[in-house]
Copies of this chain bind each other. A is one copy, B any other.
């Protein structure tokens, strides 16, 4: 790489800008408002890299947090919250256990909605505790941050950025209900862009296109439920009416954790930067423990099995079904599982409380990956070219799974309905049918074939926003138009009115002329006729 690209004078540009923004030369100041859970894990790498490059990074998080801890590369600043610690632990802890509940969807639905509402109330409560903490807000103002890096899935960071008038960089997989498209003014035709949860691909039949339009409608109610409290909070703070799109459209640059190997090609906007695979760029050497497992696996190699950082145990019945299936393959299975071991566990299956997923997937002896199809896991499978058995649980996971399946790189199973035999068959298929390995290797190569690593790209754009105090030149003028103007409906109505007026006048004139020319003759004829009677 070092000899591949000629020097480009952006370093010089940095200096030019430093004249206008003193302090940037010796490193900028970045406020990070992350989303807890797996979302923080990949953002963490960007923060680390920015810190290595000399920027001062402050991570702001509520005192109740799962994964956001003190770190070597940033200052963690927590703020006190009023939300109950017990409820927090109940909501974030074993809540995902319910996903495996075999009850019918309609029976589970009210319970799911209640939990969902509680989660939103929790994030809203955190956000209210943040923005009404006068001392904290004052100190954030005084710190004069160059930019805020935030995950907008719960838009507290976006809200703070707008409240403090600090340029924002968003770091996200996507937003529900097309809010990301709406907030970037990005066209989003439903005819070939599959909607969240539909499991459609970009090639849809007529009925799939009907589903693609109808399916999101109930989602919009959930969206309204989730986001309107945040827009109300912003409206209160800014003393003007703010929609959630107004709040989110403050983002200068959107770092989107996807690419067009994983996602289907679609219109994008100039301030959207695609950094899919940011979490799997650098695989490290395995620890002795895991190296030993892999080496002992012999010619058959290993299968890696994890349902993500949020789901580490599952109901015993399901665990036993899975354990039975895992015993039918000759590979060694490394299963991340913290619950009680199923009694029927085979010798080839090793339960571990944690596993170095990306490093294991990068090992040449890894034959398959059983995953819940979270975007991080999918990219780790993709980067390392490992065929997948996909067991999606919630959110975008069904769609991620569909993307891999539609490209022949994996087999999707319904975790609630699948039998032990289904899992066994799926595993044998992705391991023994060479087309799965070939397809994932082709996708992996395509994914990596890019001029800059996603991590460097993300770091570049955060720095860009820091040194340029935003990116207004990338903000489409569509933000200043209302719906009628955007679609030129006013112009079309105006032109139609002119055409109609002209036609009307022309018809009137013709009628008048016709009457003038032929009217008298007509009358004359009539008169002649009357006389002849």
Name A's B-contacting residues (CB within 8 A).
1-10, 12-14, 16-17, 186-187, 189-192, 202-203, 206, 209-210, 213-214, 260-261, 264-271, 281-282, 441, 445-446, 448-453, 455-457, 460, 464, 467-468, 473-478, 480-481, 485-488, 490-492, 494-495
Given the known interface contacts A475-B265, A487-B191, the answer about A452 and B1 at a Cβ–Cβ threshold of 8 Å is no
Question: Are A189 and B486 neighbours in the complex by a CB distance under 8 Å?
Answer: yes
- Cβ-closest chain B residue relative to A8: B453
Question: Are B191 and A10 neighbours in the complex by a CB distance under 8 Å?
Answer: no
Question: Are A266 and B13 neighbours in the complex by a CB distance under 8 Å?
Answer: no
Contact of A473 among B260, B477, B488 (CB under 8 A): B260
Kindly list chain B residues whose C-beta atoms are within 8 Å of the C-beta of A460: 451
Known pairs A1-B8, A5-B452, A214-B495; list 8 more (Cβ under 8 Å).
A1-B7, A6-B281, A8-B452, A13-B445, A191-B478, A191-B491, A202-B476, A209-B488
What 6 A-B pairs have minimum CB-CB distances, sorted nearest first?
Answer: A187-B187, A202-B477, A2-B2, A192-B477, A8-B453, A5-B456
Copies of this protein in the complex: 2
- Cβ-closest chain B residue relative to A1: B7
Q: How far is the CA of A7 from the CA of B481 in the complex (A)?
A: 43
Kindly list chain B residues whose C-beta atoms are within 8 Å of the C-beta of A203: 477, 480
Given the known interface contacts A17-B445, A448-B10, the answer about A210 and B494 at a Cβ–Cβ threshold of 8 Å is yes
Q: How far is the CA of A485 from the CA of B192 in the complex (A)?
A: 9
- Cβ-closest chain B residue relative to A449: B13
A-B contact pairs, 9 of them (CB 8 A): A5-B453, A6-B282, A6-B453, A10-B451, A12-B448, A16-B445, A17-B445, A191-B486, A265-B473
Given the known interface contacts A265-B474, A268-B270, A271-B265, the answer about A468 and B446 at a Cβ–Cβ threshold of 8 Å is yes
Contact of A213 among B209, B448, B495 (CB under 8 A): B495
Question: Are A192 and B446 neighbours in the complex by a CB distance under 8 Å?
Answer: no
Q: How far is the CA of A10 from the CA of B446 in the complex (A)?
A: 9
Question: Are B265 and A268 neighbours in the complex by a CB distance under 8 Å?
Answer: no
Kindly list chain B residues whose C-beta atoms are within 8 Å of the C-beta of A13: 445, 448-449
Kindly list chain B residues whose C-beta atoms are within 8 Å of the C-beta of A485: 191, 209
**Smallest beta-carbon distance A450→chain B, Å:** 6
**Smallest beta-carbon distance A490→chain B, Å:** 7
Contact of A192 among B478, B491, B492 (CB under 8 A): B478
Question: Are B8 and A450 neighbours in the complex by a CB distance under 8 Å?
Answer: yes
Question: Are A209 and B267 neighbours in the complex by a CB distance under 8 Å?
Answer: no
Question: Are B189 and A488 neighbours in the complex by a CB distance under 8 Å?
Answer: yes
Question: Are B206 and A265 neighbours in the complex by a CB distance under 8 Å?
Answer: no
Kindly list chain B residues whose C-beta atoms are within 8 Å of the C-beta of A456: 4-6, 8, 451
Q: How far is the CA of A215 from the CA of B452 in the complex (A)?
A: 41
Kindly list chain B residues whose C-beta atoms are within 8 Å of the C-beta of A260: 270, 473-474
- Cβ-closest chain B residue relative to A16: B445
Kindly list chain B residues whose C-beta atoms are within 8 Å of the C-beta of A187: 187, 189, 267
- Cβ-closest chain B residue relative to A210: B491
Q: Which residue among A446, A473, A478, A486 has the maximum number of chain B CB atoms within 10 Å of its CB?
A: A473
- Cβ-closest chain B residue relative to A190: B488
Kindly list chain B residues whose C-beta atoms are within 8 Å of the C-beta of A4: 456
Given the known interface contacts A16-B441, A468-B446, the answer about A267 and B268 at a Cβ–Cβ threshold of 8 Å is yes
Kindly list chain B residues whose C-beta atoms are within 8 Å of the C-beta of A16: 441, 445
Q: How far is the CA of A305 from the CA of B491 in the complex (A)?
A: 41
Q: Which residue among A12, A265, A468 has the maximum number of chain B CB atoms within 10 Å of its CB?
A: A265
**Smallest beta-carbon distance A515→chain B, Å:** 34
Q: How far is the CA of A21 from the CA of B375 in the complex (A)?
A: 31
Q: Which residue among A10, A17, A453, A487 has the maximum number of chain B CB atoms within 10 Å of its CB?
A: A10
Kindly list chain B residues whose C-beta atoms are within 8 Å of the C-beta of A445: 13, 16-17
Given the known interface contacts A445-B16, A485-B209, the answer about A268 and B269 at a Cβ–Cβ threshold of 8 Å is yes
Question: Are A476 and B268 neighbours in the complex by a CB distance under 8 Å?
Answer: no
Question: Are A455 and B6 neighbours in the complex by a CB distance under 8 Å?
Answer: yes
Question: Are B267 and A186 neighbours in the complex by a CB distance under 8 Å?
Answer: yes
Question: Are A488 and B269 neighbours in the complex by a CB distance under 8 Å?
Answer: no
Q: How far is the CA of A30 from the CA of B247 in the complex (A)?
A: 48
